[in-house]
Amino acid sequence: TMGNWLVNHWFSAAVLAAWLGINIFLFTYYFLFFDRDEQYFYTRAILGSALAWARASAKCLNFNSMLILLPVCRNLLSFLRGTCSCCRRTLRKQLDHNLTFHKLVAYTLALLTAVHTIAHLFNLERYNQSQQATDGSLPGILSKMHLQDNKWLNPIHSNQTTVEYVAFTTIPGLTGVIITLALILMVTSSTEFIRRNYFELFWYTHHLFLVYFAGLVIHGIAGLVRGQTEQSLAEVHPYHCAEYLTQRDQNCTHSCCKDPEFGSIPAESWKWVLAPIILYVFERILRVWRAQQKVVVTKVVMHPARVLELQMQKKGFCMEVGQYIFVNCPAISPLEWHPFTLTSAPEEDFFSIHIRVAGDWTERLIDTFQLETPRIEVDGPFGTASEDVFQYEVAMLVGAGIGVTPFASILKSIWYKFQQADQTLKTKKIYFYWLCRDTGAFAWFNDLLASLEQKMAESGKADFLTYRLFLTGWDTSIANNVALHFDTAMDTVTGLRHKTIFGRPMWNMEFAAVAAAHPRSVVGVFLCGPEALAKSLQKSCHQHSSLDPRKVKFYFNKENF
């Protein structure tokens, strides 16, 4: 299975290996540099190895801060996806892992911040001890040098200073505390649970990234951690002169009499993050510009189970199957943008989304539309994996709950391609699985499936689409109703020809059946649903793919929001 994963995800694996390699290189190189370089001989005399830990983690923090914004530049990714439309689909598919990479970099930042902070707490403690030392030791003597001019080594100049005082009154201390707090809040408020249930909390807290980057750029300006200056190294090199510092008399005459002089390490965080910040500013300007373009809501449909359908038009809007848009309603909140999968087909003269209640914002939006039609702003569309569905001879589509939305677009598009006898359609067979807790959620999708069923039967392609609806949560009244009508041609839950199956799918059996029916095909498996389902489908894809290149292969694709 590892071999299979590498074949399917070679680009992701290469990016991951490069990222990990650069992190390891930066950490090791700078750790050894600060641990051995002669310029920091006296700094190490006070701080010991905590200096190397703090500086090496700082380099990696800069590198990862440079990367963190890139995966969330939606328009940049859309552009890349467009420019590599001629590339293999495996390469385009890797761009869907943007949020996974974003999270990985974020967790790495959190880990490195912990290392950096702990190292600096040790450093502050040692600076403090050295300043207070009266035993004539090297750290004590170094700490008393140049207190009147700007060539000092120890930033703590008085005996009354505490670690807390330095942390909250110096630029590095204060910015360090602020950006650490910002990072903690961003990481903790972006858990799956909070994003799904309290999106607003996640959305607003995540904008602390502005505080994070501002703090990061300012953080190193004061240059509290210092090294010996080039000129001073040439005059009094520590390898010759260090021993004389602790045993020097008043009328000193030899070449080591002069005190070593120290200068700060130039701040360089801004060099790392400048380019991505400029890119991200362009990204935000582009989003604002696109949002200003007028959107006309042509039709509002309220479906059962409080699902709202919006049909819209916008000049120059051009979509692909299974893409998504970001929607903003200024009347509810001028700052909040929420992602929704498009449920219309590219062949239609409008684009549509289906919205169910999933938090405060959606609740307010549905309530507002029941009273009036507010102004809507749209950013997008953005590409995800389902665009590739027509590239596979056989496609297995799996939607869980409202996760069926991208497949509404696909099934509609197939319906139009059949009507127009489109020659570009490579797909010969579609298997569609919808897993749902309650019958209410099936309602808006019923009409689409019913018209599709009828259309395919009329054009003699009734066997092109096989679909199964799995009802995962059901009560006794439904069960009794099903028992009464078991011999009818139509399904009692949905009114469709294909029966609703109660319980969860047995994926091994489903995959084995598809593999047996299409022994030489490449099968695309598309999911829009929870992570647990993704894991079991991915496992099934690996288990049922043949090692023989001429035989059946399953490729897994997942929607990412």
pLDDT in tens, 499-522: 678 888 999 999 999 999 999 888
**Per-residue confidence (pLDDT) for residue 34, from 0 to 100:** 97
Q: What is the DSSP letter of 180?
A: H
Instruction: Judge contact between 427 and 522, C-beta under 8 A.
Output: no
Instruction: Judge contact between 434 and 494, C-beta under 8 A.
Output: no
What's phi and psi for 139, nearest 5 deg? -60, -40
pTM for this predicted structure:
0.82
- Of 403, 434, 443, nearest in space to 500 by CA: 434
What are the C-alpha distances in Å from 475 to residues 469, 486, 492? 16, 17, 14
Residue whose structure tokens are 């919205």: 355
Over the stretch 266-291, which tens digit does the pLDDT of each residue have?
999 999 999 999 999 999 999 888 88
The encoded tokens of residue 91 equal 């390469």
| 442 or 131, higher pLDDT | 131
Q: What's the whole-number mean pLDDT along residues 222-251? A: 86
Helices (H) and strands (E) in the chain, counts: 22, 14
Rounded to a whole number, what is the largest CA-CA distance in the chain? 112
| 443 or 257, higher pLDDT | 257
- Report the mean per-residue pLDDT for the chain: 85
* Percentage of the chain exceeding pLDDT 70: 89
Q: Is 493 a residue whose pLDDT tops 60?
A: no
Residue 119: CB atoms within 10 A of its CB come to 21
Between 2.60.40.420, 3.40.50.80, 3.60.110.10, 3.40.50.12140, what CATH number should domain 385-477+485-558 receive? 3.40.50.80
Can you name the CATH fold of 293-382?
Elongation Factor Tu (Ef-tu); domain 3 (2.40.30)
What is the domain partition of the chain in residue ranges?
19-170+224-249+268-286, 176-213, 293-382, 385-477+485-558
**Per-residue confidence (pLDDT) for residue 133, from 0 to 100:** 87
Tell me the CA end-to-end span of the chain in Å, nearest whole number.
26
Q: What is the DSSP letter of 496?
A: S
- Compute the distance between CA of residue 89 and CA of residue 426 in angstroms, rounded to an integer: 14
**Per-residue confidence (pLDDT) for residue 80, from 0 to 100:** 79
Over the stretch 45-63, which tens digit does the pLDDT of each residue have?
999 999 999 999 999 999 9
